[in-house]
Structure 1
Amino acid sequence: MVPVLQVEHLRKVFPVDDRRTLLAVDDVSFSVAAGEKVAIIGESGSGKTTIARMVARLTDVTAGRIFLQGTDITQLTGRKLREHYRHMQLVFQSPADSFDPRRTLGDGIAEGLRNFGWQKEAAWQEMERLLGLCGLEAGIAAHYPHEVSGGQCQRAAIARALALRPKLLLLDEATSALDVTVQADILALLARLQRELSLAYLFICHDIALVQDFCDRVLVMHEGRIVEEGTPDEVIGAPQQAYTQRLIDSVL
């Protein structure tokens, strides 16, 4: 079966000044199967968020290829890229910042549906269904991002991400701005949605303990490279790299 996401020999070099460059991602390859939850963990600056931004095509690649459901999207632009975006959606670290502060949450969620041809009334009804799916009352649609809690806003952001029925969600530190109790609630929601909708997740995270019971597979990044991978039990229970052990020791 073709993976939902296939990344091959991904590389990203950023210019620092006229003479210097920064190698942020160095020859990274991995895949995410349908319905699989894969975490990329590592310290700040390890390259994990740069990978997420390249996969989402928010940052151009220096080298390598990205396949979404078997289609090479590495160089796609404009309408062709937009057609494939519906299969992959992002959930960001700061949900309030990902919404337009001048528009209600309901408008923000329904907008994606309208952009793909849904009529106004149908889009609004679907938006309310998505809110309910994510554990929110329909009335929250009338609120602005700053009027709700961080957990409620992240649930609304997840509802928005589900609007086009994607196959893959990119979750970039999607729980790190929330307190521990709310983190657990959001992870429980994501686990339920994954089971019910057969979603695949690429979960970008710096906290190895957070993904221990949530993900099927863990990729450990250090200085732009994947230095270890396996199931959470393998990576956490019997780490092969000293760097992975330091990550574990810092949180467990």
Structure 2
Amino acid sequence: MRTLLRVEHLTKDFSTHGGETYRAVDDVSFSLGFHEKMAVIGESGSGKTTLARMITRLTEATSGQIFLEEENITRAKGHNLRNIYQKMQMVFQMPVDSFDSRRRLGDGIAESLINRGMKKAEAWEEAERLLGECGLGKEFLTRYPHEVSGGQCQRAAIARALAIQPKLLILDEATSALDMTVQKEILGLLDSLQEDRDMSYLFICHDLALVQAFCDRMIVMQKGKIVEEGTTDQVIRHPKHAYTKMLMDSVL
């Protein structure tokens, strides 16, 4: 399988108020193939979100390297970073917070298209098409984030991420704030979008049932380290590490 994302020895240290150093991510290495869905699981504080934020360059890595389509993006800035965001987007846990509350959903979706040189009218037409692809009608273009449900807002957030046609979508607990019915709908949407657009997903999650239903492979993180990695079925059915076994036991 061709590699889309490769992470090598990624580490992130934070300084505490007392002047000590806290290592949130500790020497993490893995790869993600084209058209693959990989989960990153672990309890709160395991380093999952910090890892995602380093990959998307929202947080600077202390050491290690990140490669996207074999391009080293670890220290990318400015124009180079903008080009990277043409290939990679992130969908956050709280979709309402990821939109500007003073602007309509259509403005948020069309913005990246306009920034790339598309005329406003064309950008709004494309935003309407993207919303439709994500199961929302044209009326959602003119609604504000607080005027729609959590599931609808997350669909709009996915539509916004799709606007620049990324190859990699990183979903950081993107379904955890939704009820089970809406979670299932969002995962179904992501499955169909992957088939249509040939994308890869890095799925940051703590819900093993969702991971088992959605992902091809998974890595398990504890205290900033990867303690287990394999196909989803392998890890869930035959966990090897004591921490993984504890996670499995906690949901049985």
Is the CA contact 1:24–1:50 (under 8 Å) kept in the aligned structure 2?
A: yes
Is the CA contact 1:209–1:248 (under 8 Å) kept in the aligned structure 2?
A: no
In the TM superposition, what is the alpha-carbon distance from 1:193 to its structure 2 partner?
Answer: 0.7
The structure 1 segments of at least 4 consecutive aligned residues displaced by more than 6 Å after TM superposition are none
CA distance in 2, matches of 1:210, 1:83: 32
Residue number in structure 2 paired with 1:162: 162
Q: Secondary structure at the match of 1:174?
A: coil
In the TM superposition, what is the alpha-carbon distance from 1:246 to its structure 2 partner?
Answer: 1.2
- Per-residue CA deviations over 1:38-92 (Å, capped at 9, x if unaligned) read 0000000000110000000000000000011111111111111111111000100
Matches within 5 A, 1:1-252: 2-252=2-252
CA distance in 2, matches of 1:193, 1:10: 30
Q: Secondary structure at the match of 1:6?
A: strand
- Per-residue CA deviations over 1:201-221 (Å, capped at 9, x if unaligned) read 000011122100200001000
Is the CA contact 1:220–1:226 (under 8 Å) kept in the aligned structure 2?
A: yes
Taking only aligned residues, the RMSD between alpha carbons, in angstroms, comes to 1.0
- Per-residue CA deviations over 1:84-134 (Å, capped at 9, x if unaligned) read 111000100000000000000001100011111111111111111100100
TM-score by length of 2: 0.98
In the TM superposition, what is the alpha-carbon distance from 1:2 to its structure 2 partner?
Answer: 4.6
Is the CA contact 1:2–1:69 (under 8 Å) kept in the aligned structure 2?
A: no
Is the CA contact 1:42–1:221 (under 8 Å) kept in the aligned structure 2?
A: yes
The code of the aligned residue for 2:51 comes to I
The code of the aligned residue for 2:83 comes to E
Moved more, 48-57 or 19-28: 19-28
In the TM superposition, what is the alpha-carbon distance from 1:3 to its structure 2 partner?
Answer: 1.6
In the TM superposition, what is the alpha-carbon distance from 1:19 to its structure 2 partner?
Answer: 3.2
Q: Secondary structure at the match of 1:4?
A: strand
Q: Secondary structure at the match of 2:213?
A: coil
Identical positions, percent: 63
- Per-residue CA deviations over 1:191-243 (Å, capped at 9, x if unaligned) read 11111111100000111221002000010000111000111110110000111
The code of the aligned residue for 1:215 comes to C
CA distance in 1, matches of 2:151, 2:19: 44
Q: Secondary structure at the match of 2:124?
A: helix
The code of the aligned residue for 1:78 comes to G
TM-score by length of 1: 0.98
Moved more, 43-52 or 11-20: 11-20
Q: Secondary structure at the match of 2:181?
A: helix
CA distance in 1, matches of 2:181, 2:9: 38
